[in-house]
Structure 1
Amino acid sequence: MLIRTATRQDMESVRDIYLSALDAGERESISQLAVDLLTQDTAAPALSWIAEADGIAVGHIAFSPVTVKGSAERIGFILAPLAVRPSHQKRGIGSELIRRGIDRLSEAGPDILLVYGDPGYYGRFGFDTSSAESYIPPYPLTYPFGWQARPLGDWTPPASALRIECAAPLNEPALW
């Protein structure tokens, strides 16, 4: 398996990964989110990786910057979205994409990595709900127990809770 940086040229492969991996209720919106994060032109773009097996894109992950509401100061990243083609699931590809992202982000120096997902899955990578308590998501959460964080480096919780802002493609209430 090869893990490499995703580029604009991967747009259709990224879309296909999400369309194949997710159920009908979310495949369209999450595949569009992944493509929008991949193609957005901003000063602080999302970091995005593709997993390839036999020359075919089989997995994708994105990490986009998170700022404090009303500030341009980046305080961390949010992991969203992540998918692996059904034909390649249960082979550790998603786990490897997460680990690779955590390693690269740890080198880059953000304080915190956030995720909104299954605690049973993301807990294996050091995410927990208590670390996320200091960060208020941009919209009310459908499943509050899924809001988690993983400190990176020498993290000190903020003195008071911070309302965060995400990249524009994540600023859709339906995603939360």
Structure 2
Amino acid sequence: MKYSIVDLSQKDAIKALFLNTFTESESVEEGQMVGNLAYELVDTTASDDLLIVAASQDEIMVGCVIFSKFTFTENTVSAYILSPAAVATASQGQGVGQQLIQFGLDTLKQNGVELVVTYGDPNFYAKVGFAQITEDQVKAPLVLSYPFGWLGQKLDGSELVAIAGETACVAALDHQKYW
């Protein structure tokens, strides 16, 4: 398995991976929604505000994680949000997702990023160092449908203390349907 940073030229492959994975695991509607989200993130977000990492096997993308800039109105903490993430159905259960996320987190840390948040399954993301957080610690940019899925981690391993202020995500994620 090869883990690498991919560029915006891979947007069609990224959309296809997310569309197929979420269609197979959830539903056609979910596949279209997450596939379109992935494509929109890659298509409309400045490359400086993204880190896209992929896992490939025999030159075929089997996993992808998109990290995008996450900002605070009253603080200069360097932060990103992990969303979305996908591993092709045939490659699931082999640790590809965990290794891919760790590759992305290590890359962000090397680039001076201090905090990463995500919104997802606490049981899965705990395997790569995420812990549940509250909106008293880090306010979500929109209303959380499932507050127990609000997760974060400091990349230096320190405890996450409250960070004051409103937050913002990139435009593609800034829609209530994703929260």
Task: Please confirm whether the aligned pair reaches a TM-score higher than 0.5, indicating the same fold.
Answer: yes
Between the aligned partners of 2:58 and 2:47, the Cα distance in structure 1 is 34
The alignment covers a number of residue pairs equal to 175
Indicate the residue corresponding to 1:148 in structure 2: 151
**Judging changes above 3 Å, is the alpha-carbon distance between structure 1 residues 132 and 147 closer, same or farther for their aligned structure 2 residues?**
same
Partner Cα separation in structure 2 for residue 132 and residue 99 of structure 1: 24
What TM-score do you get using the length of structure 2 for normalisation?
0.87
What 5-or-longer segments of structure 1 have no aligned partner? Answer: none
Displacement of 1:131: 7.1
**Aligned residue number for residue 65 of structure 2:** 61
State the AA in 2 paired with 1:2. K
Query: Quick one: structure 1 residues 102 and 131, their matched pair in 2 at CA, closer, same or farther if it must change by over 3 Å?
Result: farther
Q: Which ranges of structure 2 fall in alignment gaps of 5 or more residues?
A: none
2:85 corresponds, among 74, 82, 88, to 82
Aligned partner of residue 64 in structure 1, secondary structure: strand
**Change in CA separation of 1:100 and 1:159 when aligned onto 2, cut-off 3 Å:** closer
Q: In structure 1, what is the Cα distance between the partners aligned to 2:38 and 2:163?
A: 31
Aligned to 2:7: 7
Q: Deviations over 1:4-37 (max 9, x none)?
A: 2222331221111111111224211211121122
State whether residues 37 and 45 of structure 1, in contact with CA within 8 Å, keep that contact through their aligned partners in structure 2. Answer: no
Distance 1:128 1:101 in 2: 17
Greater displacement, 23-32 / 134-143 = 23-32
Question: Matched residues in 2 for 1:38 and 1:139: separation?
Answer: 21
Distance change (3 Å), C-alpha of 1:95 and 1:160: closer
TM-score of the two chains, using structure 1 as the length reference? 0.89
CA distance 1:16–1:98, shift in 2 (3 Å) = same
For 1:166 and 1:117, the matched residues in 2 are separated by: 16
In the alignment, is residue 103 of structure 1 matched against residue 93 of structure 2? no
Identity of aligned residues (%): 29
Corresponding residue of 1:115: 118
Local SS of the residue matching 1:81: strand
